[in-house]
Chain A
Amino acid sequence: MKTYLRFGVLVAAIIGTLAWLAASGINESKTYYKTISELKQLPASESGKRMRVTGDVVPGSIKRDGERVHFQIFEKEHNQTLNVVYMGKDPLPDTFRDSAQAMADGKLQQDGSFHANSIAAKCPSKYEAAPGKPAQQPLNPAKS
Chain B
Amino acid sequence: METLGAFALLLAFCLSIYAFAASVSGAVWKKPFLIVSGRRAVYAVFALLSVASGILIYALMTSDFRFAYVAARSNKAMPAVYKFAAWWGGQEGSLLLWSWLLSFYSAVVLWTNRKKHRDLLPWVIAVLSFTQIFFCTLNVFVEPAFQMLAVGKGVQAVPDGNGLNPLLQYWLMAIHPPALYLGYVGFIVPFAFAFASLVTKQPGEQWIATTRRWSLITWGFQSMGIMLGQGWAYAVLGWGGYWGWDPVENASLLPWITGTAFLHSVMMQEKKGMMKIWNMVLISATYFLCIFGTFLTRSGVVSSVHAFAQSSLGTWFLGFLCIGMVVTTFLILRRLDYLKSEAQLESVLSRESSFLFNNLILLASCFAVLWGTLFPVITEAVMGEKITVGAPFFNKVNIPIGLFLLLLTGVGPLIAWRRSSWESLKRAFRWPAAGMFLTMAVLGALGIHHAFALISFGLCVFVLVTIAMEFWKGSRAIAAKNQMNLVRAMFELTHRNTRRYGGYLVHMGIVIMFIGYTGAAFNKDTTKEVRIGDRFQIGRYDLHVKSVSDGDNPNYSWQRAVIGVYAGGDYLGDLQPERRVYAASQQPTSEVSIRRRLNEDLYLNFASMSQTDADKAIIQAYVFPLVSWIWIGFYILMFGTLVCLIPSKVKYSYAKTQVVGVYARQSETAK
- Is B388's CB under 8 angstroms from A126's CB? no
Of chain B, the residue at the smallest CB distance from A64 is: B612
Cα-based distance from A29 to B376 in the complex (angstroms): 13
B507 part of interface (Cβ distance < 8 Å): no
In the complex, chain B residues 347-388 whose Cβ is within 8 Å of any chain A Cβ: 347-348, 353, 356-357, 360-361, 364, 368, 371, 375-376, 385-388
Of chain B, the residue at the smallest CB distance from A103 is: B305
Q: How far is the CB of B240 from chain A (nearest CB, A)?
A: 7
Residues of B contacting A90 with CB < 8 Å? 527, 607, 620
B167 part of interface (Cβ distance < 8 Å): yes
Contact with A along B249-260 (1 / 0, CB 8 A): 100000000000
- Is A33's CB under 8 angstroms from B387's CB? yes
- Is A122's CB under 8 angstroms from B387's CB? no
Cα-based distance from A6 to B356 in the complex (angstroms): 13
- Is B527's CB under 8 angstroms from A134's CB? no
Stretch at the interface among A72-80, A107-115, A135-143: A135-143
- Pick the most buried of A32, A52, A92, A136: most chain B CB atoms within 10 A of its CB: A136
Query: Which of B229, B356, B390 is in CB contact (< 8 Å) with A29?
Result: B390
In the complex, chain A residues 1-44 whose Cβ is within 8 Å of any chain B Cβ: 3-4, 6-7, 10-11, 14-15, 17-18, 21-22, 24-26, 28-33
Given A4-B345, A18-B368, verify A138-B90 contact (CB < 8 Å): no
- Is B162's CB under 8 angstroms from A32's CB? no
A120 part of interface (Cβ distance < 8 Å): yes
Residues of A contacting B239 with CB < 8 Å? 137-138, 140-142
B574 part of interface (Cβ distance < 8 Å): no
Query: Which of B93, B308, B361 is in CB contact (< 8 Å) with A122?
Result: B308
Of chain A, the residue at the smallest CB distance from B91 is: A131
Given A91-B618, A137-B239, verify A128-B391 contact (CB < 8 Å): no
B611 part of interface (Cβ distance < 8 Å): yes
Cα-based distance from A41 to B244 in the complex (angstroms): 32
Of chain B, the residue at the smallest CB distance from A140 is: B239
- Is B305's CB under 8 angstroms from A120's CB? yes
Number of interface residues of A (CB under 8 A): 51
Of chain A, the residue at the smallest CB distance from B73 is: A128
- Is B392's CB under 8 angstroms from A29's CB? yes
Q: How far is the CB of A41 from chain B (nearest CB, A)?
A: 13
Cα-based distance from A137 to B607 in the complex (angstroms): 11
- Is A135's CB under 8 angstroms from B167's CB? yes
Residues of B contacting A128 with CB < 8 Å? 72, 90, 162, 165, 309, 585
Of chain A, the residue at the smallest CB distance from B585 is: A126
Cα-based distance from A28 to B348 in the complex (angstroms): 35
In the complex, chain B residues 299-314 whose Cβ is within 8 Å of any chain A Cβ: 300, 303-309
B182 part of interface (Cβ distance < 8 Å): no
Of chain B, the residue at the smallest CB distance from A33 is: B386
Cα-based distance from A50 to B348 in the complex (angstroms): 44
Residues of B contacting A95 with CB < 8 Å? 587-588
- Is A131's CB under 8 angstroms from B400's CB? no
Residues of B contacting A136 with CB < 8 Å? 305-306
- Is B297's CB under 8 angstroms from A131's CB? yes
- Is B165's CB under 8 angstroms from A130's CB? yes
- Is A134's CB under 8 angstroms from B392's CB? no
Cα-based distance from A6 to B618 in the complex (angstroms): 58
Residues of B contacting A138 with CB < 8 Å? 237, 239, 244, 246, 304-306
Given A15-B364, A22-B397, A128-B162, verify A134-B168 contact (CB < 8 Å): no
Cα-based distance from A142 to B620 in the complex (angstroms): 14
- Is B306's CB under 8 angstroms from A135's CB? yes
Residues of B contacting A127 with CB < 8 Å? 308-309
Of chain B, the residue at the smallest CB distance from A18 is: B364
- Is B244's CB under 8 angstroms from A142's CB? yes
Residues of A contacting B353 with CB < 8 Å? 7
- Is B308's CB under 8 angstroms from A134's CB? no
Cα-based distance from A52 to B90 in the complex (angstroms): 28
- Is A134's CB under 8 angstroms from B237's CB? yes
Contact with A along B488-517 (1 / 0, CB 8 A): 000000000000000000000000000000
B393 part of interface (Cβ distance < 8 Å): yes
Residues of B contacting A31 with CB < 8 Å? 387-390
- Pick the most buried of A10, A26, A28, A141: most chain B CB atoms within 10 A of its CB: A141
Residues of B contacting A129 with CB < 8 Å? 300, 306-309
- Is B305's CB under 8 angstroms from A30's CB? no
B394 part of interface (Cβ distance < 8 Å): yes
Given A7-B348, A21-B396, A137-B238, verify A132-B390 contact (CB < 8 Å): no
Residues of A contacting B180 with CB < 8 Å? 132
Residues of B contacting A92 with CB < 8 Å? 608, 611
- Is B607's CB under 8 angstroms from A91's CB? yes
- Is A3's CB under 8 angstroms from B347's CB? yes
- Is B527's CB under 8 angstroms from A28's CB? no
- Is B400's CB under 8 angstroms from A18's CB? yes
- Is A89's CB under 8 angstroms from B387's CB? no
Residues of B contacting A3 with CB < 8 Å? 345-348
Cα-based distance from A138 to B620 in the complex (angstroms): 16
Cα-based distance from A21 to B389 in the complex (angstroms): 13
Given A31-B389, A101-B308, verify A21-B400 contact (CB < 8 Å): yes
Cα-based distance from A18 to B364 in the complex (angstroms): 8
Given A4-B345, A103-B305, verify A22-B393 contact (CB < 8 Å): yes
B38 part of interface (Cβ distance < 8 Å): no
Residues of A contacting B564 with CB < 8 Å? none
Of chain B, the residue at the smallest CB distance from A49 is: B387
B277 part of interface (Cβ distance < 8 Å): no
Given A89-B527, A90-B527, verify A132-B94 contact (CB < 8 Å): yes
- Is A30's CB under 8 angstroms from B389's CB? yes
- Is B88's CB under 8 angstroms from A131's CB? yes
In the complex, chain B residues 274-311 whose Cβ is within 8 Å of any chain A Cβ: 297-298, 300, 303-309
Residues of B contacting A28 with CB < 8 Å? 392-393, 396
Residues of B contacting A132 with CB < 8 Å? 94, 177, 180, 248, 297-298
Residues of B contacting A137 with CB < 8 Å? 237-239, 305
B586 part of interface (Cβ distance < 8 Å): yes
B455 part of interface (Cβ distance < 8 Å): no
Cα-based distance from A28 to B372 in the complex (angstroms): 13
Query: Which of A7, A22, A94, A140 is in CB contact (< 8 Å) with B368?
Result: A22
Cα-based distance from A137 to B233 in the complex (angstroms): 9
Contact with A along B140-174 (1 / 0, CB 8 A): 00000000000000000000001001011000010
Cα-based distance from A22 to B361 in the complex (angstroms): 14
Residues of B within 8 A of A (CB): 72, 88-91, 93-94, 162, 165, 167-168, 173, 176-177, 180, 229, 233, 237-241, 243-246, 248-249, 297-298, 300, 303-309, 345-348, 353, 356-357, 360-361, 364, 368, 371, 375-376, 385-397, 400-401, 404, 523, 527, 585-588, 607-608, 611-612, 618, 620
List 11 A-B pairs, Cβ < 8 Å: A64-B612, A90-B527, A91-B607, A95-B587, A129-B306, A131-B94, A132-B94, A133-B306, A135-B165, A141-B241, A142-B239
What are the 5 A-B residue pairs with the smallest beta carbon separation, nearest first? A141-B244, A25-B393, A129-B309, A25-B396, A33-B386
Q: A33-B376, A132-B248, A142-B240 are in contact. List 6 more A-B contacts (CB 8 A).
A: A14-B404, A90-B607, A128-B309, A131-B297, A141-B390, A144-B392
